Chains A and B, each alone.
Chain A
Amino acid sequence: MIVMNFIYLYLNRWIEVWPYLLPLSIFFFQRHKNKNTRLLFIFTCIAFILSLAGTITWRYAYLFPESFKNNNILYNAGSIVRTVFPALYILQLPSIKPLRYLWYIFSGYILFILLSFFFWDDIFILSTIQHSAESILILIFTISFYLHLIVDDEINLKSVIAPLVFCTGISVYSSVNFFIYLFFYPVLNTDEHFSYKIYNASLYSLVFYWLMTGLAIYLHGRQPVKTIKPATV
Chain B
Amino acid sequence: MNSDITYLLVLGIAVMLGLMLSVLLAVMLSFRKKNQHRRAMEALREQQQNQLIEAAIRSEEGERHRIAETLHDEVGAILSSAKLHLLGIKQQELDERDKRLHEKGAGLLNDVIKRVRGISHNLHSNILKEFGFNEAIRHFLAQTTGASLLETETAMDDRYPGAGPEKDMSLYRIIQELVNNTIKYAGARFLRIHSVYTAGELTLQITHNGSGLSQEEFETFSFKKEGLGLKNIRNRIFLLQGSIHFSKTSGQSTIILKIPVISEPQPSTHETH
Contact = CB atoms under 8 A, between A and B. Distances in A.
A93 to B, nearest CB: 15
Given A168-B24, A183-B8, A187-B6, A156 B234 contact: no
A178 B1 contact: no
Interface string A182-198: 11001100110010001
Contacts of A164: 27
B235 A231 contact: yes
Interface string A137-155: 0010001001001100100
A150 B20 contact: no
Contacts of B27: 146, 149-150, 164
A124 interface: no
Given A146-B27, A179-B13, A233 B5 contact: no
Interface in B8-40: 8-9, 12-13, 16-17, 19-20, 23-24, 26-27, 30-31, 34-35, 38
A168 B25 CA distance: 11
Interface size class of B (residues with CB under 8 A): 20 to 34
Nearest to A173: B20
Contacts of A176: 13, 16-17
B222 interface: yes
Given A183-B9, A190-B1, A233-B235, A178 B16 contact: yes
A139 B17 CA distance: 11
A175 interface: yes
A187 B223 contact: no
B20 to A, nearest CB: 4
A191 B3 CA distance: 9
Contact residue range for chain A? 20 to 34
B231 interface: yes
Contacts of B219: 228
A215 interface: no
B235 A230 contact: yes
Interface string B71-90: 00000000000000000000
A231 B30 contact: no
A191 B31 contact: no
B223 A231 contact: yes
A168 to B, nearest CB: 6
Interface stretch (B48-56, B94-102, B263-271): B48-56
A60 B38 CA distance: 58
A187 B9 CA distance: 9
B9 A198 contact: yes
A175 B22 CA distance: 12
B235 A178 contact: no
B26 A146 contact: yes
B9 A180 contact: yes
Contact of B53 (A179, A228, A233): A233
A175 B20 contact: yes
A164 B28 CA distance: 10
A113 interface: no
Contacts of A191: 2, 5-6
Contact of B222 (A172, A180, A186, A231): A231
B238 A230 contact: yes
Contacts of A230: 49, 53, 234-235, 238
B8 A157 contact: no
A182 to B, nearest CB: 8
A171 interface: yes
Interface of A: 139, 143, 146, 149-150, 153, 156-157, 164, 168, 171-172, 175-176, 178-180, 182-183, 186-187, 190-191, 194, 198, 201, 228, 230-231, 233
21 contacts: A149-B27, A150-B26, A150-B30, A156-B31, A156-B34, A156-B38, A164-B27, A168-B24, A171-B23, A175-B16, A179-B12, A179-B16, A183-B5, A183-B8, A187-B9, A190-B5, A191-B5, A191-B6, A230-B234, A231-B235, A231-B238
